[in-house]
Amino acid sequence: MHQSFALKGDIIFSQTPQTLAIYPSHYAICQDGVCVGVFAQLPEQFADIPVMDYSGKLIIPGLTDLHAHAPQYAFRSLDMDLELLDWLNTQTFPQEARYADLDYARRAYSIFAEDLRRSATTRAALFGTLHVPATLVLMQLLEQSGLETLVGKVNMDRNSPDNLCETDAQASLEATRAWLAGCRDLKHCRPILTPRFLPSCTDALMEGLHGLQQETALPVQSHLSENQGEIAWVRELCPQSSGYGDAYDRFGMFGGERCPTIMAHCVWSDAEERARMKQNGVFIAHCPQSNVNLSSGVAPVRTYLDEGLNIGLGSDIAGGTHLSILRAMADAVQVSKLRWRLFDQSLSPITLPEAFWMGTRGGGAFFGKVGAFEAGFAFDAVVLDDSDLPSPLDLTPEERLTRIIYLSDDRAVVHKYVDGRKLF
């Protein structure tokens, strides 16, 4: 027995990074959680399926957040006058240490999970903290939300404050195995291996995580080339490596067919690092707002798109203050303009369709066929009501989408489907 239904409305998704497919007043059909396609009329074999009539509203694919720190949501926007390494020490690490307290973790993560559920995001790759019980609480809350998420218990056994540092590699790996045992029954929230970043992981820990990755085939996420001070530090810590990406690669934690990997930021990746990411299929999580707030810079997204690298968007809560990937799209366009104007006029700014592509198909691809209403894609859909943005103009669906990306907030998200399941 197949379960089918259709959504009717003004449907928009990316065909390519440069082109939008726009279907006003069409039907998007879902069968067993998978998209059948978009049709002007219901085809005969689907003539009798239930139709949710969202006429006059926009329907877009669910958005993917490729990088965010769930525990940092509690202090987003505070202390943004610091650069990355200072901000980690004065704000981030003390705040993450609080998650040793499970009551606090539950209160904080409940707020995060509910806000993520109400947003336009349907898929996300998230960092927890090093704490196993708190990370499992986060995962249970996300499982209940209905979203499809990847969550990592963070590994960190050096260069971290005493109250947020694992004793050694062995202790970190044992905790990681306990965490994996604790979440193995979850269906929608799955684990992802998460060495925080090279400066906070000993060689022994990286080697142990590589072994665990080989054993489990779990995906991996970490940080790469965010800030020049950080890059110089990695060069000191890993003198045998030719660069930051190479240092991950030497530990076998940098993509490849059996090791799907997300690297957040890549603001300062050089040609060699880019070539390695391309060769290994590493996904870049572009986090424009965080890169501004922490004065990291602006990633050369035009280069990444031209070179055909895998790239999506990340909110990077709480380097970024906004959970919205719609906001991340507008931010991505805006920062690329400043990069062009102030830094390097050889790379043209990215366009809004390109930003939309990154926030849907670009990042969605890490989860499989995700981010478009094409046949065979996961049926992730967001219904947007722009009636609180009145206009005296007759707007096209594309113009309405543009306004929602620049102007709207979570109020615009009125219905959401993930793998065909209606969340609200």
Q: Which residue has the tokens 């062009």?
A: 340
Biggest alpha carbon distance in the chain? 65
Q: Does 393 interact with its own copies (rule: CB under 8 A)?
A: yes
Q: Does 405 interact with its own copies (rule: CB under 8 A)?
A: yes
> Among 77, 163, 167, 279, which residue interacts with its own copies (rule: CB under 8 A)?
77
What CA–CA distance (Å, rounded) separates 384 from 63?
12
Site for its own copies in 93-112 (CB under 8 A): 104, 107-108, 111
> Among 149, 213, 293, 310, which residue interacts with its own copies (rule: CB under 8 A)?
293
Q: Which residue has the tokens 């968007």?
A: 313
Shortest approach of its own copies to residue 39 CB, angstroms? 29
Q: Is the peptide bond before 204 cis (omega within 30 degrees of 0)?
A: no
Output 71 or 219, the one with its CB closest to its own copies: 71
Q: Does 169 interact with its own copies (rule: CB under 8 A)?
A: no
Q: What is the DSSP string of 224-270?
A: ES--HHHHHHHHHH-TTSSSHHHHHHHTT-S--TT--EEEEE-SS--
Q: Does 339 interact with its own copies (rule: CB under 8 A)?
A: yes
Pairing relation of β-strands 194-195 and 421-422? unpaired
Q: Does 207 interact with its own copies (rule: CB under 8 A)?
A: no
> Among 22, 403, 421, 423, which residue interacts with its own copies (rule: CB under 8 A)?
403
Q: Which residues pair with residue 358 across a beta bridge?
A: none
Shortest approach of its own copies to residue 374 CB, angstroms? 26
Element (H, E) at 61: strand 51-61
Shortest approach of its own copies to residue 47 CB, angstroms? 38
Q: Does 19 interact with its own copies (rule: CB under 8 A)?
A: no
Is residue 106 classed exposed, middle or buried when 0-12, 13-18 and 19+ CB atoms within 10 A define those classes? Answer: middle
> Among 8, 69, 76, 153, which residue interacts with its own copies (rule: CB under 8 A)?
76
Could you list the residues that contact its own copies (CB under 8 A)?
A: 74-78, 80-81, 104, 107-108, 111, 289, 292-293, 295-298, 321-322, 330, 333-335, 337-343, 349, 351-352, 390-393, 399, 402-403, 405-407, 409
